[in-house]
Every structure is written in C-alpha cells, then in structure tokens.
Amino acid sequence: LAPERRARFASLIVREVDRLDRFVGSMLTLARHDAAQPVHPPNGSSGGAAPAGGDTTDVRALLDDLEALLAARAARADVRLALASDVATLAAPRGPLAQLLLNLALNAIAHSPPGATVAVHVTRDAAGAHATVRDAGPGLPPDAADTLFTPFAPDARGTGLGLAIVRRVADAHGWTVRGENDPAGGARFTVTMPGG
C-alpha cells in the first residue's frame, strides 16, 4: 500500500476498534437492564429531539469508511457496493449510526446473490433523516414481521443477532428501524432518525 493509504487504513482501524469498545460497553450496559423495561433514548429525549451534546456526523466520510470496511466482504461475495447520500451531515452520533449501517450492510451482502448490488442511501425529508440499505436477495418471508429483530428466532437466517442489535441500538437513540420487501425485489431496511 502507498504510505497515504496505509495511514488512512491505520487511522480507520484505530477509530473502529475504539468504536467497537464503546459499543460493546454500551451493549453490556443495556443487557444488564431488566428486559421488561423499555430502552429510553439518551437523557430521556424523545425520538424527535436532537442527540445530546449536539453530535453530528459527516455522512460522506462515514460512507467512505463503511465502504472500506465492507470492501473485502463484498468482493468475496462478488457483490457491488453503491453508497450515496443526499445530505452532508446528520444530527446523530457517528458510532451508533456506523454500527447500524455496518450490521445492515453485512446482512445485505450475506443475502445477495453474486453479481448483485447492495445499496446504502441517506436522505432527509420532513419526518427526519433516513438511512436505507437495500439488497437483491430473496426478500423477507411473509411472516417475518413478528420475529425479524428477535435473536435466535426459529425462522431466522443465521442467528438473527445482527438485526437484534440494530433494533436495540435504534431504540436506545430514539430512532426507528423498519424491514420490508422492496418492490423492485430483495429486502429493504430503513433507519429513521427524527430531527436528524
């Protein structure tokens, strides 16, 4: 690797290890909560509130890093990545958003046939910001709605932990996540950040 690429990847590795360390700590904290109690957004804010501390995310930089993290997995699966954003920044913390998009994109790659495209697109409208991940796989089973985000569900493809973590992190930040079949084929997952 050229020195500048080596430096970029080294910096990305350090940032991702730090993010994973914080993420694992957060998940352990969440796991200690009584499962019967709902997970509330930070500082008791509602879903429409901006993140505490004025956290903002440079979306294009996040997508560049996401592409670097996914490139090897996508190449092994012979899947093309298409990452785009209509917005420059989001009023959302980078770490949790990166975790959600990484989990959803890995899930999309795993369920896409060779030669397909996994698309990540960030948009904003009156309802907030939306990060959508689309695959070209077989889509979601008709009865998947009740167990889609449940770990170790009997009909889960794999353990279902990736989607369960996505839901848990989204709930903790006052975001919503929805999975559905795309009219063009495959599955589509959308994370909505009110006020993002």
pLDDT tens-digit series, residues 55-64: 899 999 999 9
Rg over CA atoms, the chain: 17
Instruction: Tell me if 159 sits within 8 A of 79, measured CB to CB.
Output: no
Exposed (0-12), middle (13-18) or buried (19+): which is 97, by Cβ within 10 Å? buried
The pLDDT of 145-173, averaged and rounded, is 74
pTM: 0.74
Query: Is the pLDDT confidence value at 35 over 70?
Result: no
* CA neighbor of 131 nearest in space, from 120, 147, 118, 141: 120
Q: Quote the tokens at residue 81.
A: 């990545």
